[in-house]
């Protein structure tokens, strides 16, 4: 078991390179199954969720190996199965993304319902109904998905909600369908654009990613490729919020402000000076942050739910009060009780949380409740007096390569302690 030990109270000064995007590389790893070839993924982050995806691929008969610090080579030519074990499915929520890819490659698939952070109900109903629209027969009796599709057929699929996972699953399945598939009310996240970029590099014809209508011309034979994963916008948001929390000046190489403009807009309102160019994003924060207008999470291009807890932690010492409204997941405030251990003043009522700024925070033993909640504890610890011990860090490892390393590069006192 490991802990993160963070000593706060010092301004940050330094720079770090933003890792490849967790929420981009996971669907791309699933998409490698469509190629029946070899794929070289550059800028691939070393995360627990990536390890889980690799184990799923290996369980299906594929091979994967690391070459250097951030290059993962995947060979799916030796695929020999279409079933994913319950143990592997329970490791992460996004394991459901393998359904569309396996179905397109094999014509059948067997998976259990996925696991992941306990953030409240995140049904995959939209995934299943969309796949049924393409011709899949799905029996979910007993908690296991038995899927069969001897022939997928392209058609228009209208999503009732712009689900990222459903959009990705349908894009993958549509690559193996005959004809053209149009996904209406599709998710617009940058990670969808990155998945389109990967599929295109493999020879697929996909267009419209980044808009609400994605079109896939199926039935094409895909090949392997070399592809570089986009930088992680939530990791970049985390370190920008770290600077807002502790104060200081930092530079994030590879970060793209156009991917996180709703976050930088709030940080500017809080008093941070932010500039960006093709090299990355620089942020300078002095003094306690100012209170900001209400922050409401929403599908992209709205404020990302993944950054809600992290921004909340950055505003714990704001001058005044800040209001948050969580519209994506019902259990996304589980980190609040842990922040209160550090002296935070937060009141929660339903989907709303009101943060009243305090002058001082103090170090305390705290526990990660989920991936982004754990990152929020690290952000708050940077502004706290004394040492904070963050336990159950396995949640953080699902989305950050080495958060202690990156915080040290930015000038923080942070270390991992193995017990």
**Mean pLDDT over residues 123-129, rounded?**
89
User: pLDDT per residue over 157-171, tens digit each?
Assistant: 999 999 999 999 999
Contact criterion met (CB below 8 Å) for 358 and 344:
yes
173: tokens are 């399945």
**Mean pLDDT over residues 359-364, rounded?**
98
**Mean pLDDT over residues 222-238, rounded?**
98
**Mean pLDDT over residues 413-419, rounded?**
92
Q: How much is the pLDDT for 88?
A: 86
User: Is the pLDDT at 121 greater than 70, yes or no?
Assistant: no
Strands 295-296 and 321-325: parallel
Q: What's the angle, vertex CA 313, arms to CA 308 and CA 317, rounded to 5?
A: 130
Contact criterion met (CB below 8 Å) for 236 and 252:
yes
User: Is the pLDDT at 117 greater than 60, yes or no?
Assistant: no
Percent of the chain, pLDDT > 90? 89
User: Is the pLDDT at 21 greater than 50, yes or no?
Assistant: yes
User: Is residue 354 helix, strand or coil?
Assistant: strand
* Whole-number CA gyration radius for the chain: 21
- Lowest model confidence (mean pLDDT) among 52-61, 70-79, 139-148, 318-327: 139-148
Catalytic residue numbers, as ranges: 117
Query: Which pLDDT band holds residue 407 (cuts at 50, 70, 90)?
Result: very high
User: pLDDT per residue over 45-64, tens digit each?
Assistant: 999 999 999 999 999 999 99
Phi, psi dihedrals of residue 109, rounded to the nearest 5°: -160, 150
Sequence-distant (≥ 6) Cβ neighbours of residue 106 within 8 angstroms: 79, 82
Sequence-distant (≥ 6) Cβ neighbours of residue 57 within 8 angstroms: 29, 32, 33, 63, 64, 74, 76
User: pLDDT per residue over 384-403, tens digit each?
Assistant: 999 999 999 999 999 999 99
Q: How much is the pLDDT for 122?
A: 47
Q: Long-range CB contacts (< 8 A, 24+ apart) of 143-146?
A: 143/112, 143/113, 144/86, 144/110, 144/111, 144/112, 145/99, 145/109, 145/110, 145/111, 145/112, 145/113, 146/110
User: Is the pLDDT at 119 greater than 70, yes or no?
Assistant: no
User: pLDDT per residue over 9-18, tens digit each?
Assistant: 999 999 999 9
**Mean pLDDT over residues 242-270, rounded?**
98
User: Is the pLDDT at 120 greater than 60, yes or no?
Assistant: no
User: Is the pLDDT at 280 greater than 50, yes or no?
Assistant: yes
Q: What is the DSSP string of 209-220?
A: BTBSEEEEE--P
Task: Choose among 5, 2, 1, 11: nearest CA to 250.
Answer: 11
Alpha-helical (H) ranges within 15-155 are 22-31, 48-59, 86-89, 98-106, 125-133
Q: How much is the pLDDT for 118?
A: 43
Average pLDDT, the chain: 95
Q: What is the DSSP string of 118-162?
A: --S----HHHHHHHHHTT-EEE-GGGEEEEE-SS-B--EEE-SS-
Query: Which pLDDT band holds residue 252 (cuts at 50, 70, 90)?
Result: very high
Which element (helix H / strand E) includes 328? none
- Within a 13 Å sphere around the CA of 316, how many CA atoms are in the beta-carbon half? 32
Query: Which pLDDT band holds residue 115 (cuts at 50, 70, 90)?
Result: low
Q: Report the phi/psi class of residue 292: left, alpha or beta, with left for phi > 0 and alpha for psi in -120 to 50.
A: beta
User: pLDDT per residue over 293-315, tens digit each?
Assistant: 999 999 999 999 999 999 999 99
CA–CA separation, 136 vs 199, rounded Å?
A: 22
Q: What's the angle, vertex CA 200, arms to CA 44 and CA 18, rounded to 5?
A: 25
Task: Choose among 189, 202, 182: nearest CA to 28.
Answer: 202
Q: How much is the pLDDT for 91?
A: 80
pTM: 0.96
Neighbours of 69 (CB within 10 A): 8
């Amino acid at each position: 078991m490991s802990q993160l030990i963070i000593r706060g109270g010092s301004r940050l000064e330094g720079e770090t390179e933003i890792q490849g995007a967790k929420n981009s590389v996971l669907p791309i790893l699933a998409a490698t199954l469509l190629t029946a070839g070899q794929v070289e993924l550059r800028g691939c982050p070393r995360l627990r969720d990536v390890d889980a995806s690799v184990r799923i691929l290996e369980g299906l008969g594929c091979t994967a190996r690391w070459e250097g610090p951030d290059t993962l080579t995947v060979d799916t030519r030796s695929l020999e199965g279409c079933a994913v074990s319950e143990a592997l499915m329970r490791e992460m929520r996004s394991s459901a993304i393998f359904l569309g890819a396996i179905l397109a490659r094999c014509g059948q698939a067997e998976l259990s319902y996925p696991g992941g952070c306990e953030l409240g109900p995140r049904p995959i109903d939209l995934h299943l109904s969309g796949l049924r629209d393409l011709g899949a027969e799905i029996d979910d009796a007993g908690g296991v998905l038995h899927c069969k599709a001897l022939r997928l057929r392209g058609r228009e699929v209208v999503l009732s909600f712009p689900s990222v996972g459903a959009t990705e699953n349908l894009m993958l399945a549509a690559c193996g369908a005959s004809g053209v598939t149009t996904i209406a009310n599709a998710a617009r996240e940058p990670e969808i654009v990155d998945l389109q970029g990967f599929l295109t590099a493999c020879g697929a014809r996909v267009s419209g990613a980044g808009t609400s209508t994605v079109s896939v011309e199926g039935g094409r034979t895909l090949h392997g490729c070399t592809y570089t994963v986009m930088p992680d916008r939530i990791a970049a948001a985390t370190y920008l919020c770290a600077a807002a929390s502790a104060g200081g000046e930092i530079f994030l190489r590879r970060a793209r402000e156009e991917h996180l403009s709703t976050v930088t807009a709030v940080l500017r309102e809080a008093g941070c000076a932010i500039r960006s160019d093709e090299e990355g994003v620089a942020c300078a924060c002095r003094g306690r942050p100012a209170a900001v207008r209400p922050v409401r999470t929403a599908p992209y291009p709205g404020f990302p739910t993944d950054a809600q807890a992290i921004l909340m932690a950055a505003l714990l010492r704001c001058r005044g009060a800040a209001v948050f409204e969580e519209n994506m997941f019902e259990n996304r405030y589980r980190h609040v009780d842990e922040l209160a251990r550090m002296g935070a003043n937060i009141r929660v009522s339903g989907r709303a949380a009101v943060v009243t700024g305090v002058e001082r925070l103090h170090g305390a033993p705290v526990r990660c409740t989920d991936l982004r909640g754990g990152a929020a504890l690290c952000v708050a610890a940077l502004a706290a007096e004394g040492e904070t011990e963050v336990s159950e860090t396995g949640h953080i490892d699902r989305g950050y390569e080495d958060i202690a390393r990156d915080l040290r590069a930015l000038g923080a006192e942070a270390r991992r302690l193995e017990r």
